[in-house]
Amino acid sequence: MQVIVAKDYDELSRWAAEAVAAQILEKPDSVLGLATGGTPLGMYRELKRMHQEGKLDLARVKTFNLDEYIGLPADHPESYHHYMQENFFRHVNLPADQAHVPDGTAGDLAVECQRYEEMIQAAGSIDLQVLGIGANGHIGFNEPGTEFGAVTHVLSLDPRTVKANARFFGSEDQVPRQAISMGIKTIMKSRKIILLASGTDKAEAIMRTVTGPVTVDMPASILQLHPNVTLLVDKAAAAFLKLDGGQMSVNC
Ligand code: PGA
């Protein structure tokens, strides 16, 4: 696991976008795993700029988002379908049928989970997965306690996640209590992973991800067992790490 510390959020966002762009240059038909939330917004802004400057071609890329709330239709302003359309998809040349987000309104959610997982595997698994992290250590919506062997599944949001995400909905009662998420096993099959974290709220989770025991109580700690993970964090999120010149390599 490699940890790289950016001086601030803008630098972190640029580095994340450069990692995605490098992946696409190296393999124009890459399969990307994408994240939502506040943290990757700067990365999407940079990717949009690169595309507008003619430096990023997504014509052959496929994308799979990590998760979606149960019960929110695609046009709900807080659905992750809507987030992705507004912040990324509509600004770039990614064909609509190559962009995938789980359907949180599916009549049979078990069937939807299976369909989504099979689509990812049929695409050849994910080449580069972008992750955020919750203050409680969740990746995707895999909350503390989620078994590491889970593939795409339905889960209940942790009360800390409901509270954290209330800022997007206006109040806690508006936040859906369930979501569909790729499982930890799905995420761990990705060939490369970058995890982005910004701000002091994430500092403890980052420290436990890097140096703590691998435990379902801190889902992101499983990344210690993945062969190709880079944590891109800003100074605030790195506050509890002992760093050597802004970089850290941890052999797990
Ligand atoms: P955030 O969410 O980027 O909005 O902090 C990250 C997450 O919950 O995974």
Q: What is the pLDDT along the chain (252 residues), one digit of tens a residue?
A: 999 999 999 999 999 999 999 999 999 999 999 999 999 999 999 999 999 999 999 999 999 999 999 999 999 999 999 999 999 999 999 999 999 999 999 999 999 999 999 999 999 999 999 999 999 999 999 999 999 999 999 999 999 999 999 999 999 999 999 999 999 999 999 999 999 999 999 999 999 999 999 999 999 999 999 999 999 999 999 999 987 766 666 654
Closest CA to 235 of 203, 195, 194: 203
pLDDT at 26: 98
User: Is residue 234 a contact partner of residue 11, using CB atoms and an 8 Å limit?
Assistant: yes
Distance from residue 166's CA to the centre of ligand 1 (Å): 12
pTM of this structure: 0.96
pLDDT at 245: 65
Mark residue 152 as left, alpha or beta (left: phi above 0; alpha: psi -120 to 50; beta: remaining): beta
Q: Which of the four CATH numbers 3.90.480.20, 3.30.750.24, 3.40.50.1360, 2.40.30.10 does domain 2-249 have?
A: 3.40.50.1360
Distance from residue 95's CA to the centre of ligand 1 (Å): 26
User: Is residue 238 a contact partner of residue 246, using CB atoms and an 8 Å limit?
Assistant: no
Distance CA 34, CA 80 (A): 11
pLDDT at 249: 62
What's the token pair of residue 129?
A: 């997965």
Per the DSSP assignment, residues forming a β-bridge with 6 are 234
Mark residue 72 as left, alpha or beta (left: phi above 0; alpha: psi -120 to 50; beta: remaining): beta
Per the DSSP assignment, residues forming a β-bridge with 64 are 33, 100
Distance from residue 196's CA to the centre of ligand 1 (Å): 9
What's the token pair of residue 27?
A: 């393999």
Distance CA 91, CA 49 (A): 9
> How many angstroms from the chain centroid is the CA of residue 167?
19
Residue 37 Cβ contacting ligand 1 at under 6 Å = yes
Residue 199 Cβ contacting ligand 1 at under 6 Å = no
Domain boundaries, the chain: 2-249
pLDDT at 130: 99
Task: Choose one of 45, 65, 66, 133 to mutate for the ligand 1 pocket test, by most ligand atoms within 8 angstroms of C-beta.
Answer: 133
pLDDT at 21: 98
